[in-house]
Structure 1
Amino acid sequence: MILIWLAATALMTAAPGASTQSSPAEAAAPSAAAQALAAFDPLIGKTWRGASLNAADTIDEVRFERILNGRAIRSTHSVNGGVYAGETLITWDPAQNRLVSFYATNGGFYTTGTIAVRGPGTFEFDQVAHGLPDLPGVRATTTFENGVYSIRSRHLIKGEWVDTGGFDYRVVE
């Protein structure tokens, strides 16, 4: 997995007499990127464990952390001690004006897509699967309420969106 984070800087010049300083309100206002990434704050720095809604013996552990000086979120997860595992990188795409993600797995496939923030800990993921010809798309909705982080997923199977289950997670550390 290769992720290249390009950063650009620009020198700004002002016309004579024009101010280049922003007002205190502008300086204090968080960017759209910072606001979107802040929605992950209830999940950050914790390990969450949950059982599959479809099979109680399928246990997933996921951990969220801020990386790249706070400009991205990484989540790693492991099902049943690594039988299946993956890592997600989430960052802001200024061209799309939204969060984007890249998910790599030990199952030999990956996904790319977008994330819509619906509230603290609450998101809608819309992903394109790569390397799984029979599964071109994945959609997931996550919620965070009363200390429970829940995910519900749907897969695009033969042109139809099919509910495929999910997990309800609680903090383990």
Structure 2
Amino acid sequence: MKKTITKLVTFMLMGITLFAQASDKQLDAKLAMFADYLGTWQSNFTVAPGKPSVTDVSMWERALNGKAVRTLHSINNGEYGGESLIFFDKEKDSLVFYYFTTAGFYTSGTIEVINETQFVAYEDVSGNDSGITKVKSTSDLQEDKLLVSTSYLKNGKWTEPEQRVYTKSDRKVIFK
């Protein structure tokens, strides 16, 4: 009888542990579309002939008990990088984010969800010396690839969109 009770208690504890671990990985319902974005991604940018290569490593993770998504990224092992927190703002009734950079400027913005795999981010830039005041980027998760298209409002004119393809990676985000 004691063995049966011990086994029953063991199985119950295992079930509770597995349930707790599963719920630890969940995102708030307002952030659910980002679940498949979680993990590490890498893009090798297209550069002009003779220019040095550019690699961006980006990590997406659950933060603040699932009430936020945190992203970290670094270009060329820490030459440049940044960190974002994405969360649902009840007052604005919108997904919002803040992005802080190693270059000393930051952005704040909103996210418009297009469908379950695609969103558009609209950013206002503060403290950037290069003339960029706004950024618009579209991200689209297609199976094992993350497609990102980004335009910048620089000196009052929008740039042509830059296209990047990210694939799953085991590299680490590095800051110097």
TM-score, normalised to structure 1's length? Answer: 0.75
How far has the Cα of 1:74 moved from its partner? 0.1
SS in structure 2 at match of 1:81: coil
How far has the Cα of 1:172 moved from its partner? 1.4
Flag structure 2 segments of 5+ consecutive residues without an equivalent. 1-26, 171-176
Alignment RMSD (CA, Å): 1.8
8 Å CA contact 1:54–1:165 kept in 2: the answer is no
Which residue is 2:109 aligned to?
A: 113
Which residue is 2:96 aligned to?
A: 100
After the TM superposition, list the runs of 4 or more consecutive aligned residues in structure 1 that deviate by more than 6 angstroms. none
Asked if 1:38 is matched to 2:35, the reply is no
Asked if 1:80 is matched to 2:39, the reply is no
1:97/1:54 CA distance change after superposition, 3 Å: farther
CA deviation vs aligned residue, 1:98-133 (integer Å, no higher than 9, x gap): 100000000111000101112234210000000025
Residue from 23, 47, 53 that aligns with 2:46: 53
Residue from 138, 145, 150 that aligns with 2:142: 145
8 Å CA contact 1:54–1:166 kept in 2: the answer is no
Q: 1:169 is matched by which residue type in structure 2? A: Y
Which residue is 1:23 aligned to?
A: none
Distance 1:53 1:36 in 2: 34
TM-score, normalised to structure 2's length? Answer: 0.74
Structure showing the higher helix proportion among its residues = 2
SS in structure 2 at match of 1:42: helix
1:160/1:171 CA distance change after superposition, 3 Å: same
SS in structure 2 at match of 1:41: helix
Identical amino acids, percent of aligned pairs: 31
SS in structure 2 at match of 1:39: helix
> Size of the alignment, in residue pairs?
140
How far has the Cα of 1:164 moved from its partner? 4.6
Residue from 139, 155, 158 that aligns with 1:161: 158
8 Å CA contact 2:40–2:59 kept in 1: the answer is yes
Distance 1:62 1:74 in 2: 10
Flag structure 1 segments of 5+ consecutive residues without an equivalent. 1-32
Asked if 1:67 is matched to 2:60, the reply is no
Q: Which has the larger radius of gyration?
A: 2
8 Å CA contact 1:121–1:149 kept in 2: the answer is no
Q: 2:148 is matched by which residue type in structure 1? A: I
Asked if 1:136 is matched to 2:129, the reply is no
